[in-house]
């Protein structure tokens, strides 16, 4: 059996020498068994095998007696090396090595081929894009490529043979596991996408069942899914956009069949999507044949814009603007039509055309001149009104530029380039001057609008204008009237202020400007005596004379009434001003012919110098006015240069005015009474009530100091009312106490007399106090009487009807004319003290007074002499047949208690 065995069998001695060999040595090695005996076994081995073989031998003999699987290379007798699978055993008891071996060359070759095949498969599985693993029927891993291992974080090679659920426990919660199990059970392949929770990635998995179990391929598809989702969203957006578009949108195929429409198309045409599908484009066109030319154009890549009528399902039509373009989709030809309903636009266009037509008609009919100019200022359009306004026919106007037409206009600065962003410049109510074809100028009121481009460059100008030439002339006249005195033509107060300011502004250092306030001394008398017309003529003559004296560069103005102002440049200051004032007085004291008579008016002039006396115009006027009053106070027909002391007096007067206002309410007034005697028998005829002001700080203030202020401020009305009440009441009481009648004279100022209800007031006082009207005498000054002769006459008649007496006070100090007194119901003339005292020593005064008294008597008036200070004067008056007298010689004004004492004296009321 051993010799016929197929395996080689050798018995070796402990030293490795071959002791026996079986017959297989011949077959396997080419040696006859005998040839091997005595040889060391290494003689059969290639040299490189020796070390390993000796090592195995040593191992056998040193405690590891068996080596069942020792692969070894053996050199056959023919030199070929074959691989033999050997099993070796050492028998220590027999001190022998037993070896059996079989040829393993083929097996080795097959194994190597298998290994190579596996390696090729592995590398193929490793190189495929997908992760791959396989499990057997017990869910044990039989293979996994590196990608699969990496995906779940395990070493794929080391994991082979282990249960899949153990290796990847997350799989138990995964939605993929049921699919795996179903595939395992049903043996059906499956493909699906799941979210792999541990890594939050999407995975596409393909499962292929096989005889051993399952082969699974998977790969990540997160990015692909995101892209798909983005695409889906994008498509949804586009669809939404398409449907939300205001226009109808349609896609038509090659055969001009409608294949797709948006919501707006359904809404506008009234067809549903389903109804549209399969309709021809021509079905919704009204009378428009799709021409070959249109299709050719589209196919040549030219989008077409059509204007046509579209027809809806209900048969109505609408005008549309259709933008058609062509596109390819996967080789198929389509046409896209965007259909815009332009009904509204057409309506608006129609309205616009109508509106333009109306505008044109308005332009043609408007009385305002209209023009349109281009950016160069050349006229492009005009209307008949502008032709009429300018005198040019239309054709000629259209050849003109704005510069040719306008002499001056506010357009010039506006028409240039403005800042970028200013799209229009509008001018409203600007004044301009047109040059008429015949050369004269036309003033126009212009409204203009200049359109500009983005850079602010003018594009066009539109203007509308109306003729204001008449208005301008009226305005100029109005301005003249507003700035000039209508009577004399001289500048008035407003213009004076302006001109003086200019003079002051232009006054060189070292020079002066004199402002002179000039008041005519006797104008009022002339006016009242000769009438207003003559008065006006006098004022014109005065103005003419002043003009002659004053240089053209100086100013002369009339403030009103008889007040004039002269402002003159005075290089040498006050001396020059004084010379001018002298010249003014010279011309004004020369007689002026008024109503056939020569009159001399004279003037009082106040002068203030700039900059010496005042630095502002207002102060100059104020100080000149103050100086003028001083000139008047100083006796008239003279000039006074302003002095600061004058201001002090003015201030003093103002302080007095402030304390005068509350004086009546504070009871600071009292009345004194001056007796008046009848010259025949020297009996007391009556008393004159004279006011006294007991000022808390200043003591008794004379009426001469405050009556003027009271008159100017109007306080005299209240004060006079009190005087009247007090005088009447006291007199009534004195008469009752002393038992005889007497007359009380009350001074009445012009302002009181000018009050409409004055007579009623007097009537009421008499009624209240019980004084008989015949016991009241009102003293009126000449100036108060002549203020307004007509009104005064009427008032005096009213008073006279009450039964009271009327006297003219200070007679002889004013315009001494008895003639005018005839117009008033006067009872008494009170001769002024100065009149009585004019004694020239040759008896003429007596004759004069005598004649005067006779004349007064002839006119039915009694004469009272005032200011009698001596017995001589009294005799003189008595001789002149004067009726009554009053004066210090007879009795001074006295307080009420003194008067009562006088009345109670034994001599009675005698002087
Ligand atoms: N509207 C009113 N005017 C009034 C009132 N009371 C007074 N006056 C006026 O004030 C002026 C000054 O008055 P008065 O200081 O009281 O002077 C009077 C007499 O005192 C003064 N007089 C009288 N006799 C003499 C004299 O012999 N010599 C002299 N030198 N003066 C004398 O004359 C004044 C009276 O004048 P007249 O009124 O003109 O008769 C003065 O103008 C008053 O009118 C008032 O209540 N209301």
The closest-lying atom of ligand 1 relative to the alpha carbon of residue 810 is: 39
The pLDDT assigned to 814 comes to: 58
Residue 781 Cβ inside 6 Å of ligand 1? The answer reads no
Q: Which of 668, 690, 719, 730 to mutate to test the pocket of ligand 1 (most atoms within 8 A of CB)?
A: 690
Residue 702 Cβ inside 6 Å of ligand 1? The answer reads yes
Lowest mean pLDDT among 152-156, 258-262, 286-290, 396-400: 286-290
| Distance from C-alpha of 370 to C-alpha of 617, rounded to nearest angstrom | 48
99 Rama class: left (phi>0) / alpha (psi -120 to 50) / beta: beta
The pLDDT assigned to 608 comes to: 97
The pLDDT assigned to 455 comes to: 82
Task: Decide: 564 and 542 in contact? Cβ < 8 Å.
Answer: yes
The pLDDT assigned to 813 comes to: 64
Residue 674 Cβ inside 6 Å of ligand 1? The answer reads yes
How many Å lie between the centroid of ligand 1 and the Cα of residue 690? 6
The pLDDT assigned to 514 comes to: 97
Which residues lie closer than 8 Å to 260 by C-beta, 6 or more apart?
Answer: 250, 251
Q: Beta 190-196 vs 258-261: how paired, if at all?
A: unpaired
The pLDDT assigned to 818 comes to: 64
pLDDT at residue 908 is higher than 70: no
The pLDDT assigned to 104 comes to: 86
Identify the sign of the CA torsion 16, 21, 27, 31: positive
3-state secondary structure 874-890: HHHHHHCCCCEECCCCC
How many Å lie between the centroid of ligand 1 and the Cα of residue 747? 9
Name the one residue in this structure whose structure tokens are 């023919």.
78
Q: Hey, which residues does 678 pair with through a beta bridge?
A: 683, 884
pLDDT tens digit string along 563-621?
999 999 998 899 999 999 999 999 999 999 888 888 888 999 999 999 999 999 999 99
Residue 641 Cβ inside 6 Å of ligand 1? The answer reads no
| Distance from C-alpha of 387 to C-alpha of 366, rounded to nearest angstrom | 12
pLDDT at residue 409 is higher than 80: no
Write the residue with the smallest CA distance to atom 32 of ligand 1: 867
Residue 804 Cβ inside 6 Å of ligand 1? The answer reads no
The pLDDT assigned to 874 comes to: 92
The pLDDT assigned to 425 comes to: 82
pLDDT at residue 412 is higher than 80: no
How many Å lie between the centroid of ligand 1 and the Cα of residue 744? 14
Write the residue with the smallest CA distance to atom 21 of ligand 1: 867
Write the residue with the smallest CA distance to atom 35 of ligand 1: 690
Write the residue with the smallest CA distance to atom 42 of ligand 1: 704
Residue 867 Cβ inside 6 Å of ligand 1? The answer reads yes
Q: Which of 677, 731, 747 to mutate to test the pocket of ligand 1 (most atoms within 8 A of CB)?
A: 747
Residue 703 Cβ inside 6 Å of ligand 1? The answer reads yes
Structure letter (DSSP) for residue 256? S
pLDDT at residue 802 is higher than 60: yes
Percentage of the chain beyond pLDDT 70 is: 96
Give 12's pLDDT tier (boundaries 50, 70, 90): very high
Rounded to an integer, the average pLDDT of 451-479 is 88
**Which phi and psi (to 5°) does residue 418 adopt?**
-110, 180
Write the residue with the smallest CA distance to atom 33 of ligand 1: 867
The pLDDT assigned to 843 comes to: 63
The closest-lying atom of ligand 1 relative to the alpha carbon of residue 781 is: 39
The closest-lying atom of ligand 1 relative to the alpha carbon of residue 809 is: 39
Give 653's pLDDT tier (boundaries 50, 70, 90): confident
pLDDT at residue 836 is higher than 80: no
| Distance from C-alpha of 892 to C-alpha of 886, rounded to nearest angstrom | 9
Which residues lie closer than 8 Å to 439 by C-beta, 6 or more apart?
Answer: none
Name the one residue in this structure whose structure tokens are 């007679």.
811
The pLDDT assigned to 41 comes to: 93
pLDDT tens digit string along 103-131?
888 888 878 877 887 777 777 776 777 89
The pLDDT assigned to 293 comes to: 83
Residue 747 Cβ inside 6 Å of ligand 1? The answer reads yes
Q: How many CA atoms lie within 13 A of 139 on its CB side?
A: 15
DSSP string covering 660-679 = HTTTTTTT-EEEEEEEEEET
The pLDDT assigned to 559 comes to: 93
Cis ω before 370 (30° cut-off from 0): no
Rounded to an integer, the average pLDDT of 142-159 is 92
Residue 707 Cβ inside 6 Å of ligand 1? The answer reads yes
Nearest to 687 by CA among 775, 614, 749: 775
Residue 870 Cβ inside 6 Å of ligand 1? The answer reads no
The pLDDT assigned to 109 comes to: 82
3-state secondary structure 344-355: HHHHHHHHHHHH
| Distance from C-alpha of 784 to C-alpha of 792, rounded to nearest angstrom | 8
Task: Decide: 705 and 654 in contact? Cβ < 8 Å.
Answer: no
The pLDDT assigned to 635 comes to: 77
- Decide: residue 799, CB within 10 A, 0-12 exposed, 13-18 middle, 19+ buried: buried
State the CB neighbour count (10 A cutoff) for residue 298: 18
pLDDT tens digit string along 687-740?
999 999 999 999 999 999 999 899 989 999 999 999 999 999 999 999 999 988
Write the residue with the smallest CA distance to atom 41 of ligand 1: 704
pLDDT tens digit string along 248-262?
999 999 888 999 999
Q: What is the chain's mean pLDDT, rounded?
A: 90
Residue 809 Cβ inside 6 Å of ligand 1? The answer reads yes
For 148, the enclosing helix (H) or strand (E) is helix 146-152
The pLDDT assigned to 619 comes to: 94
Which residues lie closer than 8 Å to 611 by C-beta, 6 or more apart?
Answer: 507, 512
Q: Which of 660, 669, 703 to mutate to test the pocket of ligand 1 (most atoms within 8 A of CB)?
A: 703
State the CB neighbour count (10 A cutoff) for residue 802: 15
pLDDT at residue 842 is higher than 60: no
Which residue blocks in 245-313 are alpha helix, DSSP H? 263-269, 273-276, 292-299
Task: Decide: 445 and 466 in contact? Cβ < 8 Å.
Answer: yes
Reading the block at residue 278, the tokens are 């399969």
Task: Decide: 216 and 133 in contact? Cβ < 8 Å.
Answer: yes
How many Å lie between the centroid of ligand 1 and the Cα of residue 711? 15
Residue 190 Cβ inside 6 Å of ligand 1? The answer reads no
Residue 488 Cβ inside 6 Å of ligand 1? The answer reads no
pLDDT at residue 241 is higher than 60: yes
How many Å lie between the centroid of ligand 1 and the Cα of residue 341? 104
Task: Decide: 677 and 685 in contact? Cβ < 8 Å.
Answer: yes
Residue 893 Cβ inside 6 Å of ligand 1? The answer reads yes
Buried b (16+ CB within 10 A) or exposed e, 32-67: ebeebeeeebeebbeeebeeebeebbeebeeeeeeb
Write the residue with the smallest CA distance to atom 10 of ligand 1: 703
The pLDDT assigned to 290 comes to: 65
The pLDDT assigned to 458 comes to: 84
How many Å lie between the centroid of ligand 1 and the Cα of residue 887? 10
pLDDT at residue 478 is higher than 90: no
The pLDDT assigned to 492 comes to: 93
Residue 810 Cβ inside 6 Å of ligand 1? The answer reads yes
Predicted structure pTM score: 0.46
Angle at 671 between CA 670 and CA 674, to 5 degrees: 155
3-state secondary structure 65-82: CEEEEEEEEEECCCCCEE
| Distance from C-alpha of 826 to C-alpha of 809, rounded to nearest angstrom | 11
| Distance from C-alpha of 908 to C-alpha of 905, rounded to nearest angstrom | 5
State the CB neighbour count (10 A cutoff) for residue 874: 21
Write the residue with the smallest CA distance to atom 20 of ligand 1: 893
pLDDT at residue 892 is higher than 90: yes
The closest-lying atom of ligand 1 relative to the alpha carbon of residue 716 is: 1
The pLDDT assigned to 287 comes to: 77
Write the residue with the smallest CA distance to atom 3 of ligand 1: 747
Nearest to 884 by CA among 686, 673, 672: 686
Lowest mean pLDDT among 150-164, 429-443, 671-685, 894-908: 894-908
The pLDDT assigned to 318 comes to: 94
The pLDDT assigned to 530 comes to: 84
Give 838's pLDDT tier (boundaries 50, 70, 90): low
Write the residue with the smallest CA distance to atom 7 of ligand 1: 690
How many Å lie between the centroid of ligand 1 and the Cα of residue 529? 27
Q: Which pairs count as long-range contacts for 41-46, CB under 8 Å and 24+ apart, including other chains?
A: 41/10, 41/12, 41/16, 41/17, 41/99, 42/16, 44/74, 44/75, 45/72, 45/73, 45/74, 45/75, 46/73, 46/75, 46/81
Write the residue with the smallest CA distance to atom 9 of ligand 1: 703
How many Å lie between the centroid of ligand 1 and the Cα of residue 815? 20
| Distance from C-alpha of 468 to C-alpha of 404, rounded to nearest angstrom | 20
pLDDT at residue 393 is higher than 90: yes
Which domains does the chain show, CATH number per domain?
8-109 (3.30.450.20), 128-225 (3.30.450.20), 245-341 (3.30.450.20), 366-473 (3.30.450.20), 484-642 (3.30.70.270), 668-904 (3.20.20.450)
| Distance from C-alpha of 250 to C-alpha of 267, rounded to nearest angstrom | 13
How many Å lie between the centroid of ligand 1 and the Cα of residue 703? 8
Q: Which residue has the higher pLDDT, 691 or 454?
A: 691
How many Å lie between the centroid of ligand 1 and the Cα of residue 750? 16
pLDDT at residue 289 is higher than 90: no
Rounded to an integer, the average pLDDT of 804-814 is 84
């Amino acid at each position: 059996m051993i010799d016929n065995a197929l395996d080689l069998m050798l018995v070796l001695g402990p030293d490795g020498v071959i002791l026996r060999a079986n017959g297989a040595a011949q077959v396997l090695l080419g040696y006859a068994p005998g040839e091997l005996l005595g040889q060391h076994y290494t003689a059969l081995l290639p040299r490189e095998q020796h070390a390993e073989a000796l090592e195995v031998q040593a191992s056998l003999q040193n405690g590891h007696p068996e080596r069942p699987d020792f692969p070894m290379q053996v050199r056959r007798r023919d030199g070929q090396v074959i691989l033999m699978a050997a099993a070796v055993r050492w028998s220590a008891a027999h001190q022998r090595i037993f070896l059996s071996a079989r040829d393993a060359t083929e097996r080795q070759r097959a194994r190597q081929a298998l290994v190579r095949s596996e390696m090729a498969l592995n590398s193929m599985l490793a190189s495929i894009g997908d992760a791959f693993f396989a499990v057997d029927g017990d869910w044990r891993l039989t293979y996994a490529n590196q990608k699969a291992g990496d995906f779940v974080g395990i070493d794929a090679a080391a994991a082979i043979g282990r249960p899949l659920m153990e290796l990847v426990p997350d799989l138990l919660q995964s939605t993929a596991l049921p699919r795996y199990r179903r595939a395992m059970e049903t043996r059906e392949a499956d493909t699906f996408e799941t979210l792999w929770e541990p890594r939050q990635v999407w995975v596409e998995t393909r499962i292929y069942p096989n005889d051993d179990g399952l082969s699974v391929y998977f790969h990540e598809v997160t990015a692909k899914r995101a892209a798909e989702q983005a695409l889906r969203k994008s498509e949804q957006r586009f669809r939404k956009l398409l449907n939300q578009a205001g226009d109808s949108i349609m896609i038509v195929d090659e055969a001009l069949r409608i294949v797709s429409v948006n919501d707006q198309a359904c809404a506008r045409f009234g067809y549903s999507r389903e109804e549209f599908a399969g309709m021809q484009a021509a079905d919704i066109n009204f009378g428009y044949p799709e021409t070959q030319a249109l299709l050719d154009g589209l196919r040549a890549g030219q989008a077409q814009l059509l204007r046509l009528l579209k027809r809806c399902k209900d048969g109505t039509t609408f005008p549309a603007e259709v933008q058609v373009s062509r596109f390819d989709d996967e080789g198929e030809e389509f046409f896209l039509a965007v259909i815009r309903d332009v009904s509204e636009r057409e309506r608006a266009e129609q309205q616009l055309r109508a509106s333009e037509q109306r505008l044109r008609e308005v332009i043609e009919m408007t009385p305002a001149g209209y023009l349109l100019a281009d950016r160069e200022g050349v006229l492009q359009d005009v209307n008949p009104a502008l032709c009429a306004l300018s005198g040019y026919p239309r054709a000629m106007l259209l050849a003109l530029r704005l510069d040719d037409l306008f002499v001056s206009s506010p357009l010039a600065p506006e028409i240039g380039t403005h800042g970028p962003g200013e799209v229009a410049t509008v001018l409203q109510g600007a004044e301009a001057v047109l040059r008429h074809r015949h050369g004269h100028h036309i003033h126009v009121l212009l409204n203009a609008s200049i359109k500009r481009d983005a850079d602010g460059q003018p594009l066009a100008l539109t203007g509308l204008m109306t003729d204001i030439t008449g208005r301008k002339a009226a305005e100029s006249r109005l301005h003249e009237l507003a700035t000039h005195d209508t009577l004399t033509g001289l500048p008035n107060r407003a213009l004076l202020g302006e001109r003086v300011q200019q003079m002051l502004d232009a006054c060189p250092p070292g020079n002066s400007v004199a402002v002179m306030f000039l008041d005519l001394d006797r104008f009022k008398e002339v006016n009242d005596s000769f009438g207003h017309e003559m008065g006006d003529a006098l004022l014109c003559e005065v103005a003419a004379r002043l003009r002659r004296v004053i240089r053209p560069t100086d100013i002369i103005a009339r403030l009103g009434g008889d007040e004039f102002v002269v402002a003159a440049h005075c290089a040498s200051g006050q001396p020059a001003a004084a010379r001018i004032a002298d010249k003014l007085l010279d011309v004004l004291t020369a007689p002026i012919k008024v109503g056939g008579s020569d009159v001399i008016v004279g003037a009082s002039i106040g002068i203030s110098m700039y900059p010496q006396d005042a630095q502002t115009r207002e102060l100059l006027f104020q100080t000149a006015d103050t100086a003028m009053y001083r000139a008047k106070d100083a006796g008239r027909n003279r000039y006074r240069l302003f002095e600061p002391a004058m201001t002090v007096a003015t201030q003093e007067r103002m302080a007095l005015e402030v304390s005068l206002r509350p004086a009546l309410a504070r009871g600071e007034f009292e009345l004194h009474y001056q007796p008046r005697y009848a010259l025949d028998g020297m009996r007391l005829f009556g008393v004159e009530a004279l006011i006294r002001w007991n000022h808390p700080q200043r003591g008794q203030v004379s009426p001469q100091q405050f009556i003027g202020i009271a008159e100017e401020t109007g306080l005299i009305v209240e004060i006079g009312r009190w005087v009247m009440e007090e005088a009447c009441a006291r007199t009534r009481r004195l008469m009752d106490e002393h038992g005889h009648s007497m007359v009380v004279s009350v001074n009445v100022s012009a302002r009181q007399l000018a009050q409409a209800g004055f007579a009623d007031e007097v009537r009421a006082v008499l009624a209240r106090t019980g004084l008989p009207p015949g016991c009241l005498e009102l003293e009126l000054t000449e100036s108060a009487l002549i203020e307004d002769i007509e009104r005064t006459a009427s008032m005096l008649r009213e008073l006279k009807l009450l039964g009271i007496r009327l006297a003219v006070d200070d007679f002889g100090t004013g315009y001494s004319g008895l003639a005018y007194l005839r117009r008033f119901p006067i009872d008494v003339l009170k001769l002024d003290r100065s009149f009585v005292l004019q004694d020239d020593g040759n008896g003429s005064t007596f004759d004069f007074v005598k004649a005067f008294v006779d004349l007064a008597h002839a006119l039915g008036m009694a004469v009272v002499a005032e200011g009698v200070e001596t017995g001589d004067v009294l005799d003189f008056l008595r001789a002149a047949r004067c009726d009554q007298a009053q004066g210090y010689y007879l009795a001074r004004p006295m307080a009420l208690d003194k008067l009562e004492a006088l009345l109670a004296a034994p001599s009675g009321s005698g002087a």
